[in-house]
Structure 1
């Protein structure tokens, strides 16, 4: 058991270094171009997208807290991680099938992939939080879940800022406002959308959309699962 924790601490250290690393040239160039594109989009469109994503996520956050497993309390660290990895694998396969089906349908079904995949990701995060022993009915735990989503799907520059927010979370959580409306929804939706734009664009193309959706969704959920595991390891091992 001690050997397993030593291995996990090493993996966590590597992940923490990655979260705090400076943006590379390609990352800075990509972010600069996306910022330029966003500047061409009318403010009303930004506001509409922000409101839509906000309401969509709040609906999932409210519903998922009642369908997630009861927090595990007595399991060993190894047993928790084994259960978490099995759950991530299940969501990867589910997201792959969903991506293949919507990708095969071309533009219209491809657009439906966005809210469906987002719902799967959030439900996965609720399940993982519960398996690590955290109560997702707590509002502050749901904010932590949103930060994990940001860590997984943001530019490196934004990722650094979010990592600083979740580091030493117990102290940071005490300073949170009690209203989720004060969450930085605009930055959240823009970073999330910008990250997925390139990865998901080919899914809208007929014929190749199905295999692209299958592979991309599988990898996105795997990335989210790995991010969540390390984010909760950081809290449990501190």
Structure 2
């Protein structure tokens, strides 16, 4: 009987131990299920994050492609702008050289025109002096001719009768006498006309020369600027 009691106690202990073990196993299983459920939630979160990351990666890849294309376009534009800048620098250098050449040319031509104007002024002064001297000589010659004509008037009056007699016989001689009586006056008139004509000719030549030189100067100047 005691042996059975002992065995019964041992069985009770084993049962209690088994129950405790089962309860512990259930708790462990429950904890495991909870852990699995939590892991499933974590996995779902990770999957959603992975999907978001993949979408971000795709968008980033698209952006990288767009940026690469934009970068290529920008590189082409930069190369074009560099070539254009080089062309502009060359053009600027050529313009500076042309400007310096034009400035030197303008300086030379300015000196030439100054010397030409000085020479023309001297020539004009010389011509004015010459015209003044010719005018004074002409006036003196007119006075002398008038005085000579007045002095020759009494002599022509003494021979008026002979002249009237000869006039009937030879009317042509009358015109010769009249033409001979005023040769110097006609000469003076011719001198006045010659002086005026020479003056007009010189002024015309001066104007033509100045116009030709001015035209030549501006023509060459336009050629230099076009370079």
TM-score in terms of structure 1 length: 0.18
Larger radius of gyration: 2
